[in-house]
Amino acid sequence: MLVLEYKIKAKSQKYKAIDEAIRTMQFIRNKAIRYWMDAPKEVKIDRFALNKYSTELRNEFPFVKALNSMAVQASAERGWLAISRFYENCKSKKPGKKGFPRFQKDNRSVEYKTSGWSLHKTKRRITITDKKGIGELKLLGKWDIHEYPVKSIKRVRLVRRADGYYCQFAVDVECIDIQASTGQEIGLDVGLESFYTDSNGHQETNPKFLRKAEAAIKHSQRAIYKKVKGSTGRRKARAKYSRKHLRVNRQRNEHAKRLARNVCLSNDIIAYEDLRVANLLKNHCLAKSISDASWYQFRQWVEHFATKFGRLAVAVPPHYTSQECSQCKAIVKKSLSTRTHICSCGLVLQRDWNAAINILLKAKSRGGHPQSNATGVGTSTLLGASLVEQVLTMNVESHAL
C-alpha cells in the first residue's frame, strides 16, 4: 500500500466544509462506541452491526446523511477498530490498561472509500461529491499519481493539520525496489548519548530536535495564556504552538527515514534490539529523551526499507547485550554511567560498540526474528496495517525513495 499526500488549496468556506465533515465522522465514531457500550450482554455487537447502525444514523440525522455513505461506514469502522483492539488486549492478557474505547474529541480526518470523490483528468484537482459542500479542491505536491489507475485508489482522506489541510491517496500497489547484494552486515545499538552505534564503531549523532526547540515551544505555550479565552488572538497563538510541535515531528520522521534508508542500502543484514519502548517510557527521568530519540520510528523505517530493498531486518532480544563481552562472552556488570567495556580477556571497547557487535552476533546465530511486515511511519500510514488502522498514523512514502 502506497500513500501519496498533497496539500490542499481552497477558499475558507471549503475549509469550513471539510471541518464539518471531520466533525460528522467523529460524531458517528462516538455514537458507534456508545451503541456498543449500551447494548445488552446477550446482543453481539460486531463490525457488521455497527455498519448497520451507521445506516440508522443516516436516517436519523440530516447532517450524517449529507456525508457520503461509504465515509459513514469508514467512521463506524474506526469505532470497531478501537473496540476490537480492546478485545484483543483482554484476550491476550496484556499487562496494565487494556485500552477501553474512549470517546474522541480531536479527530482530524475524514475518509472516503471508492465513492464520494472524483479525480480531475489532470489529476491535480479532486471533487468531493457528497452534500457537505466541499466541492473541488486544488492539489499541491510533487507526487506523480498519473502512473496509477484510478481503480487502484482505495481510500481518499482529507486531513487537517496545524499548517493546513492535506489530501491523501491510499494506492493499492507494491513498493518494491530490490537492490544488488553488498555483502555487508551491521548491528545497531540505539542510545541517548548517540542516536545509534553500529558494529563497525560508527556513532550517529543524536539530533535532539525537541530539546533544541523546547525553549521556543515553551515561549509559544505561555503566549497562549496571555490571550483572552475564546479570542482570535488565542486561536492564533494555539496555531503557532501546534506548528512548532508539528515541525519537530516532521524533523524526527525525516531523520529516521534518511538514516534507515542509508543503512538498508549499504547492508544485507540489519540487526537491532527488540526494545519495548513503551515500557522504557515508564522511567520518568528519561522518558522525554527517549521520546525525542524516536527509536521506534527508526525501527519501523528500517523494517520498511529492508522489505523494499530485499534486505533482512532482524530483531534480537536485548538481554545482556551491554553486559556480555563480544569477544569471550563473559558477563561484565556495569551501570548506565559506565561508558567503557573492559573485560578480563583484554578487550576494551566503547560500551555501545560492544553491544552493537553482540546484537549482530545474536542475529547471525540464535536470537533473531526476521521481520516480514514492512512498516513506515511519519506523515503517513503503516504499510502492514489495515486501511482503517492507517488513518490513525497517516504515513507518506514515496515510490522514488
- List the beta bridge partners of residue 186: 270
**CATH code: domain of residue 340:** 3.30.420
pLDDT of residue 5: 92
The verdict on 198 and 312 lying in the same domain is yes
Looking at 76, 110, 144, the residue that finishes a domain is 110
- In contact, 376 and 304? CB cutoff 8 Å: yes
Instruction: For residue 155, tell me if it sits in a domain.
Output: no
Structure confidence by residue, pLDDT tens digits, 117-166: 998 888 789 999 999 999 999 999 888 888 888 889 999 999 999 999 99
pLDDT of residue 209: 95
- In contact, 125 and 136? CB cutoff 8 Å: yes
Question: How many structural domains comprise the chain?
Answer: 2
Structure confidence by residue, pLDDT tens digits, 353-377: 989 999 999 888 864 454 444 433 3
Which residues contact residue 354 at a Cβ distance below 8 angstroms, ignoring those fewer than 6 apart? 322, 325, 326, 341, 347
Q: Are strands 117-119 and 164-171 parallel, antiparallel or unpaired?
A: unpaired
Q: Where are the beta strands (DSSP E) in 218-298?
A: 269-273
Instruction: For residue 388, tell me if it sits in a domain.
Output: no
The verdict on 66 and 199 lying in the same domain is no
Instruction: For residue 262, tell me if it sits in a domain.
Output: yes
Share of the chain above pLDDT 70, in %: 91
State yes or no: pLDDT of 384 exceeds 60: no
Instruction: For residue 102, tell me if it sits in a domain.
Output: yes
Range of the domain at 302: 185-206+252-373
The verdict on 201 and 336 lying in the same domain is yes
Instruction: For residue 395, tell me if it sits in a domain.
Output: no
In this prediction the pTM is 0.82
- In contact, 32 and 54? CB cutoff 8 Å: yes
CA dist., res. 32 & res. 36, Å (int): 6
The verdict on 55 and 200 lying in the same domain is no
Structure confidence by residue, pLDDT tens digits, 206-240: 999 999 999 999 999 999 999 999 899 999 999 99
Instruction: For residue 217, tell me if it sits in a domain.
Output: no
pLDDT of residue 399: 36
The verdict on 198 and 329 lying in the same domain is yes
- In contact, 211 and 293? CB cutoff 8 Å: no
Structure confidence by residue, pLDDT tens digits, 266-301: 999 999 999 888 888 888 888 999 999 999 999 999
pLDDT of residue 121: 83
What 3-state DSSP class applies to 68? coil
Instruction: For residue 211, tell me if it sits in a domain.
Output: no
State yes or no: pLDDT of 70 exceeds 50: yes
The verdict on 190 and 332 lying in the same domain is yes
Mark 282-316 as b/e (b = at least 16 C-beta within 10 Å).
eeeeeeeebebbbbbbbbbbbbbbbbbbebbbbbb
CB-count exposure of residue 181 (10 Å: 0-12, 13-18, 19+): exposed
> Which residue, 350, 194, 208, is CA-closest to 292?
208
Structure confidence by residue, pLDDT tens digits, 104-120: 999 999 999 989 999 88
**What amino acid occupies position 231?**
S
CA dist., res. 392 & res. 247, Å (int): 19
DSSP assigned state of 384: T
Instruction: For residue 127, tell me if it sits in a domain.
Output: no
The verdict on 69 and 189 lying in the same domain is no
